[in-house]
Amino acid sequence: MGSEGMKQPWKIGMFQCAGLMGAWKLPENTATDFLDLNHWLTMARRCEDAGVDFLFFADDYGYPVVGDGIPATALRGGVQFPKADPTMILPALAAVTERLGLVTTLSTTVEKPPMVARKMATLDHITNGRIGWNIVTGAGQNASARLFGLPMTEHDLRYEIAADHVDLSLKLWEGCWDEGGLVIDREAGIFADPDKVREIEHHGPHFDAKGLLPVPPGPQRTPMLFQAGASVPGRDLAAKYAEAVFLAAEVPALTAQIADIRRRAEEYGRDPRSIKCLIAGTFVVAETEADAHALRARQTGTRSLEDAAASYAFFTGLDLSVMDPDKPLDVEAALTQTGRTNVERFLGPDAPTVREILEEFQRNSVMGAPFIGDAGQVVDQAQAVIEATDADGFLVQPDHTGTFDSFIDLVMPELRARGLVATDLPAMTLRERLLGTGTPHLAPEHPGAAYRRDVASAKSPATA
């Protein structure tokens, strides 16, 4: 698979969260400016000028919880904490950019479908169709459940809820307003055509609704749909609904995850190539290889093993600091109801010890091993991973400065010189930009497309 058709240019997204990330302790790092709007405006403009495809904001309501509280080390060390609300920042970024895609996470465990549908439909308008929704069931579940005063929903049940959530959201985006439903004829006094605007009904296993999305459809109708969370039910959710997936793993696990998502997509009647698989990639790049390795050493030196344990607790709910460092995770650990990706990752025949897991988390956290070297070297390494995995591009981690400056200044020119990325793309919707199918709307075989009444009736004119 992957050999047929033309080689597509790599898709390049940039990873952020509206809070502290990575090596914030380095003096040149700017992540502590996360509550200063100018920090984000500058970053968005730079990304747009560099020709990258989109800027992504991860989000969740969680923070590390171990036992019954927040470990002091998480507060002191700024581990998965603090963070602001990215949906409050995105409109400002839309105002200073014209081509850059803007993607954010909204959790299906926390947010209700009409809220997601309304926010995303509004953002689709004000970004001119450049918005994407990253569908997650949510990291930091144990903390998030406490914050909302709710019992923690079991892991697999969260994914069942997610599927029902997306199904209802799709009905709201696709089913309420036909094309031409918005009339705005002042002379005739008609705002909307009652024959083309309606309430949808949904009676799913977890959500019941009869209602109208009060926002008329934006350029994409449904925002471009992303997904993150690579546990088995996570991959299944991606295969059913996602148009792009974020993955963080290394070869060969990454190759297997991508093949599994594409196989499942085919089972759902979708074109397996229509899902863009994006690898969360760390590029430690400098003018020389030696400088890059020195940079890497400085970055890793900012994270203690205690920070790593707090970060691991955030993603999995497991406290490695109280486990036997010389043994692998025990089977009971695998039953965690918090995130699964970073538990499953460390099980199996060659399972590392708890100490090795901590060291791995100290170095790379949830990401795979970084690409390190000068521009030519990191692109060689990235190319090898793309070839080994059949992936479509990268979600680039911020560098030691908390920005993407080194990637933009050193790696982007190298990618362009090798013809690996598209150049000088005009303004278009995010879906058109990433999928290249020439339409801003969901593909006809996407489950959401079936909810468009005008499309359904247009398919069978004989019955009109």
Closest alpha carbon to 254 in 268, 235, 241, 227: 235
What residues are paired with 276 via a beta bridge? 244
Paired tokens of 283: 């590029």
Smallest gap from Cβ 261 to ligand FMN, in A, equals: 12
Nearer to ligand FMN, 59 or 178 (CB): 59
Shortest gap between Cβ of 87 and ligand FMN (angstroms)? 12
Q: Footprint of ligand FMN on residues 52-81 (CB under 6 A)?
A: 58-60
- x/- mask, ligand FMN, residues 406-425, rule CB under 6 A, reads --------------------
Residue for token pair 């502290």:
20
Stretch that binds ligand FMN, among 31-39, 245-253, 400-408, 428-436 (CB under 6 A): 245-253
Site for ligand FMN in 126-155 (CB under 6 A): 134, 136-139, 155
Relative to beta strand 208-211, strand 182-185 is unpaired
With CB under 6 A as the contact rule, the residue among 321, 341, 364, 389 that binds ligand FMN is 341
For residue 457, the tally of other CB atoms under 10 A from its CB is 12
Find the binder of ligand FMN among 241, 246, 404, 451 (CB under 6 A). Answer: 246
Measured in whole angstroms, how far is the alpha carbon of residue 374 from the centre of its chain? 27
Q: Kindly state whether residue 16 participates in binding ligand FMN, applying the rule CB under 6 A.
A: no
Question: CB of residue 74 vs ligand FMN: minimum separation in angstroms?
Answer: 17
**Minimum CB separation from ligand FMN for residue 415, in Å?**
19
SS3 at position 378: helix
| Region of 37-45, 187-195, 228-236, 450-458 interacting with ligand FMN (CB under 6 A) | 228-236
In contact, 144 and 338? CB cutoff 8 Å: no
d(C-alpha 143, C-alpha 337), whole Å:
12
Spatial neighbors of 51 by CB under 8 A, at least 6 apart, are 412, 416, 421, 422, 423, 424, 425
Cβ 272 to ligand FMN, closest distance in Å? Answer: 20
Max CA distance (Å), the chain: 78
Mark the segment that binds ligand FMN (CB under 6 A) among 112-120, 222-230, 303-311, 401-409: 222-230
Token pair of 352, please? 């590392």
DSSP H helix total and E strand total for the chain: 17, 14
Shortest Cβ distance from residue 190 to ligand FMN (Å)?
Answer: 42
Task: Tell whether residue 106 is a contact of ligand FMN (CB under 6 A).
Answer: no
Binding residues for ligand FMN, rule: CB under 6 A, are 58-60, 105, 107, 134, 136-139, 155, 228-231, 234, 246-248, 280, 315, 339-341, 366, 395
